[in-house]
């Protein structure tokens, strides 16, 4: 069994795509996923699954969410081990206030031309590092004033993205670690 963290893109924002977390947890449980826990209203769900193919699991979650709630919601998936690496790797965390740090998760590696477009963008005082399927952000004037918003990153890279602040990264790591500790291992 693997512990996963699913990140839903664009729910419960400005009254759009309302998804109550209790209903979302119940949906995950009806899919046979175990240990389902959610964190805040933006669609962060920690769960256990025996599914080894992440792409198949993403399609299954997206289909079930659309069937249940009536609209498409992109899902980006990471294992707890991958999330732990993300939390450890932020290249700017030693030099920045954690309140100004974020990570944007992508469903796949961006193309070389998309990366070039991103690197050519004027970012003001914002800094970023692209590392595989993650973009590490430092937004010294706050994310609300950033030139590297989720929408900008999606348009520049030509793919879905979802951004989490550093406090959420830490909380998901904590919840994922608790989930790992409670999984019954075969004797």
Find the mean pLDDT for residues 169-182.
80
| Closest C-alpha to 128, from 106, 107, 160 | 106
How confident is the model at residue 181, as a pLDDT?
A: 59
Domains and CATH numbers, the chain: 2-83+170-182 (3.30.70.1280), 88-165 (3.30.70)
**Average pLDDT of the chain, as a whole number:** 91
**Is the pLDDT at 167 greater than 60, yes or no?**
yes
**pLDDT above 80 (res 184):** no
CB 151 within 8 A of CB 9: no
State the residue for tokens 């400005």.
Answer: 14
pLDDT band at 186 (very low <50, low <70, confident <90, very high): very low
Mean per-residue pLDDT, 118-147: 93
Give the per-residue pLDDT at 90: 85
Q: Mean pLDDT across the stretch 52-70? A: 95
Contact indicator for 41, 48 with CB cutoff of 8 Å:
no
Alpha-carbon 38 to chain mean position: 13
pTM for this model (two decimals): 0.90
Spatial distance between the Cα atoms of 25 and 175, rounded to a whole number of angstroms: 15
For the chain, the helix, strand and coil percentages under 3-state DSSP, each to the nearest 5: 40, 25, 35
């Amino acid at each position: 069994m693997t512990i996963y963290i699913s990140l839903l893109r664009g729910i419960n924002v400005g009254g759009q795509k309302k998804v109550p977390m209790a209903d979302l947890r119940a949906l995950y449980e009806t899919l046979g996923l175990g240990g389902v826990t959610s964190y805040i209203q933006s669609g962060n769900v920690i769960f256990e699954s025996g599914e080894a193919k992440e792409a198949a699991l993403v399609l299954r979650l997206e289909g079930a969410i659309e069937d249940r709630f009536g609209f498409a919601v992109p899902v980006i998936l990471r294992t707890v081990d991958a999330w732990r690496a993300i939390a450890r790797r932020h290249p700017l965390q030693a030099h920045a206030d954690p309140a100004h740090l974020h990570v944007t998760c992508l469903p796949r590696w961006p193309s070389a031309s998309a990366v070039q477009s991103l690197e050519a963008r004027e970012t003001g005082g914002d800094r970023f590092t692209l590392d595989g399927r993650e973009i590490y952000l430092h937004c010294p004037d706050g994310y609300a004033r950033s030139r590297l918003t989720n929408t900008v990153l999606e348009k520049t890279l030509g793919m879905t993205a979802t951004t989490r602040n550093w406090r959420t990264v830490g909380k998901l790591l904590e919840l994922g670690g608790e989930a790992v500790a409670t999984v019954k291992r075969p004797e």
